[in-house]
Amino acid sequence: MTVTYDYAGKVVLVTGGTKGIGAGIARAFREAGATVVVCARTPPAGETGDASARTGREADMVPIEFVRADVRDPADVARLISGFDRLDVVVNNAGGSPQAPLDGTSPRLHARVIELNLTAPLLVSQRAYPLLKASGGAVIMIGSASGTRPSPGTSAYGAAKAGLHHLARCLAAEWAPEVRVNSVVVGLAATENAEEHYEGGRAAAEATIPAGRMATPEDVARVCLWLGSPGYVTGAEIQVHGGGETPAWRWAGHPAMP
């Protein structure tokens, strides 16, 4: 059975929605009938007002609107949200971090990583709250498995994402029942930068995932469509990681284990 969603008449904001997972989420909401606005510090490559090429069926859809904004900047966030008369779903997707081992990494870099991945989603959510309350809307935080398990080189990023997951739970408790807030916790993902990030080791990385492959932007987008639709679920963390990572004992061939 194929599940479909009707977002006609709804307005959706996706931060960091010009590429990767964010662009996939924006396309999915647009295809479901929503008016979609994406923001980022730079426009999408090769586009002026649309975050994806418009061919075939997409040519009949309302273009995705791009707004230049740095979600770390309170003034930019205020300007961004002031452009809406209505807002039904906010997807806090903007984020990321370079690999940054603790040894030799400056406190300033760690502060910047936390600013982008934790403080910025709070800024956007706070500014959007009155509009979301009026529409009975939803906030979706794009979290990360790095916030649930340790990984070398991701201490600041992991701490920020762990904080984001908890922030979502707190907002869900404070803003219920008018506004629902949930997190989508993403594992290894197949985005434009995957090959570069894994330096030719993508197949080996995918072999550690029980589902046998990385998550795609479409996998994440389908969960966002569900969480953005009217419902009861709030304060939840939906894991999109293909079963996580295969336990080490499976690779060791331990005779006592299945």
Residue carrying structure tokens 């969603």: 5
| 157 classed as catalytic | yes
What is the SS3 assignment for 144? strand
Q: Name the helix (H) or strand (E) containing 36.
A: strand 35-40
Give the Cα separation of 105 and 38 in Å (integer): 32
Strand order in the sheet with 11-15: 65-68, 35-40, 11-15, 89-92, 138-144, 180-186, 237-240
From the CB of residue 43, how many other CB atoms can be counted at a distance below 10 Å? Answer: 16
Q: Which residues contact 71 (CB under 8 A, 6 or more apart)?
A: 15, 16, 39, 77, 80, 94, 116, 120, 121, 123, 124
207, 235 in Cβ contact below 8 A?
Answer: no
Q: Nearest CA to 45 among 201, 224, 192, 143?
A: 192
Q: Nearest CA to 174 among 129, 221, 215?
A: 129
Q: Which of 5, 7, 129, 157 is catalytic?
A: 157
Catalytic residues: 157
